Amino acid sequence: MTREDLIKSAGELKKVIPEALNEYKEKRDKLVSIINDSMLKRADIKDLVGEKNFDMMKDNHKNHAMFVESIMSNPNPEVLTDTVLWVFRSYRSRGFHQNYWAAQLSTWIDIIKANLSKESFDAIYPLYNWFTINIPHFTNLSDKQLENFVDAPEHH
């Protein structure tokens, strides 16, 4: 799948209803706190993020929640796709394992389901499902971008 395919699929996501966006906004800090606690309790957390990347992971969760809120407020398939690709590239280059995103996103989904109304969860879930089902594509595209960066003449 190409970047353009991801942008097209992101463009097919429905706009999130205002009530869901507002509930997410209201509970965002609580959701971030819960995901940080949940992820830090995982037995495999060092394998997922690296031994010295816990603060970076927490920053990612906070930034993720703010970004999701922004994208739900102002949907933009190109910004959504390019930002996720940047995140994959950036965090992978700092030692995050590709399995981190599957673990993180499944945890986000569980937390959102447990802490938001059913209506809000149902409205927001398609975005999280889009993130999740496209992990292999984000991984492949970001790996290619990292390889191209390393292979660039100015980096030798």
Residue 134's closest CA among 102, 108, 156, 111?
Answer: 102
pLDDT digits (tens, 9 = 90+) for 9-42: 999 999 999 999 999 999 999 999 999 999 999 9
Q: What is the SS3 assignment for 148?
A: helix
The secondary element (H helix, E strand) that includes residue 127 is: helix 118-133
Q: For the chain, list the domains and their CATH numbers.
A: 3-155 (1.10.490.10)
pLDDT digits (tens, 9 = 90+) for 35-71: 999 999 999 999 999 989 999 999 999 999 999 999 9
Q: How far is CA 48 from CA 22, 88, 101, in A?
A: 31, 13, 9
Largest CA distance in the chain: 52
Q: Are 125 and 109 in contact (CB under 8 A)?
A: yes
